[in-house]
A and B are shown apart, each in its own frame.
Chain A
């Protein structure tokens, strides 16, 4: 990686003419990336900026903070943010630790090699198996007439719905979201664990480190940045997810993406500008997560060279 970039830079610098000519060369230099930048500007950056600006404007275009303040003062909106953050946070944390445990088990646990390839293949599929079909699968399993629900009721005489189980609770949605969160963690973290060099363990053992010291002082510091980075990615992943929850309850469920969905479809909040503010709030939350993610990723890549 490093020397490739370096060699490219030195080669790119070599034919560079004196300063006056650079101004003429610049357009041709940029022509190869122009379609990409025009595309992301038009269809990613500007639409996002448009919403952000709209969040600070009244209906006739004057500056205001009312929309943003309403996110906090309107109890149903602030509640939806709170529920979304809780679901995303816990599904990310639980998913990350469960995914890490599975990854360590298959890479370092001394299991037969088929478990590794089977887990990785399955994780690749399951991390992309989200949205509506995932909800259908869980309804067929744990819905009111689902296979596991009826099995528990008929065989073990346990009625999970009488015990308060429901997909529409925070914990119910977390349990479902784990179905794509855990595999995503496995897919991302296995390469990081593979990056732990065998020599480090041997070196630690030679220096007289115990197994727990090796983990505490070598493994965890090395994996930590990419682990934390992935937690943040999982958080953003759950925060924007809408289809699974929508399949369970339609617009009734009070999480942010569904609130925004209803607002776009029919202005249920009776203030078009409020939609911008909700979108802005989502961008702020995932944007903060993104900043952390990039930061941790660069740190972990430095380790895993």
Chain B
């Protein structure tokens, strides 16, 4: 057992070194813009760049719309499957896993060919249409995370009783989903939302191929042309990802731990 503990420490420390050396080196590199001294010049230049601000804002808005779209698609479906169509669960789980294995570049290639400006549904014929298609693509990418988060949330509440109680009180379906079910799984939905945000904010492939002024293509452009700014951007991106994951962890503390009934 003693040697087991020794090796556990060795593995932990080697692992920590592999992950922390690049991060610390990146921090150090990002502070080196001014010769000879450490400074935040790279961060100042990046944050003051008008293109940084506009592309970042664009991606934040795209992420928010992605989350809204994801909720509108996933919550009713996951709820309905729990309530009425449990036999569909394996099919829906399979479908929601597909975006993990069909690469994003393949999905967006399909969009470009199917929804081009000469097609029956010319999403790419207009600027707004292309923006919508980007949000749709992001919602597709986030399906696996969104569905699993919502389904986990639904598992902890008694969907059937809540629905019947609401029905007895005279609620319609939209009221039940929007004002009874959604608030009860809000924490789960928010975890899915923050994960979606972390994935979408720096996404490159879809935004670039749909030619959108998003944060990902901006990152690529800076990476190809500058020396110190990319390191600063990497740290900023890491901080954003960390922030999203921390929020998920904090939220999970408020989530109900066990179901109201055994399952």
Contact = CB atoms under 8 A, between A and B. Distances in A.
Contacts of A54: 113
B192 interface: no
Contacts of B73: 35-36, 39
B205 A242 contact: yes
Contact of B202 (A3, A132, A240): A132
CB-based closest 8 A-B pairs: A109-B8, A47-B110, A240-B103, A32-B80, A36-B77, A140-B29, A133-B237, A147-B25
A48 B110 contact: yes
A178 B15 CA distance: 11
The number of chain B residues touching the other chain, given as a range, is 35 or more
Contacts of B129: none
Interface of B: 1, 4-5, 7-9, 11-12, 15, 18-19, 21-23, 25-26, 28-30, 72-74, 76-77, 79-89, 92, 94-95, 97-107, 109-114, 136-137, 139-140, 143, 155, 160, 173, 195, 198-199, 202-205, 209, 216, 219-220, 223-224, 227, 230-231, 233-234, 237-238, 241-242, 244-246, 248-249, 261-263
Contacts of B216: 131-132, 243
Contacts of B114: 46-47, 50
Interface stretch (A166-174, A197-205, A284-292): A284-292
A260 B30 contact: no
A233 interface: yes
Interface residues of A, number: 91
A33 B209 contact: no
Nearest to A8: B86
Given A8-B160, A286-B101, 17 more contacts: A8-B83, A12-B86, A33-B80, A33-B85, A39-B136, A46-B114, A47-B107, A51-B113, A110-B1, A125-B238, A131-B204, A132-B237, A136-B219, A147-B28, A240-B102, A264-B109, A282-B103
B142 to A, nearest CB: 12
Nearest to A109: B8
A8 B113 contact: no
A51 to B, nearest CB: 5
Interface in A248-305: 250, 257, 260-261, 264-265, 275-276, 279, 282-283, 286-287, 289-290, 293-294
A128 B151 CA distance: 21
B29 A147 contact: yes
What secondary structure prevails in chain B residues at the interface with A? helix
B19 A122 contact: yes
B22 A242 contact: no
Given A11-B160, A33-B77, A233-B100, A101 B11 contact: yes
A110 B8 contact: yes
21 contacts: A4-B155, A12-B85, A33-B85, A35-B77, A39-B73, A39-B136, A40-B140, A43-B139, A44-B102, A44-B140, A51-B106, A109-B9, A109-B12, A121-B245, A131-B203, A140-B22, A147-B29, A236-B103, A283-B102, A283-B106, A294-B94
A44 B44 CA distance: 41
A214 interface: no
Given A125-B245, A128-B241, A282 B106 contact: yes
A128 B198 contact: yes
Contacts of B82: 8
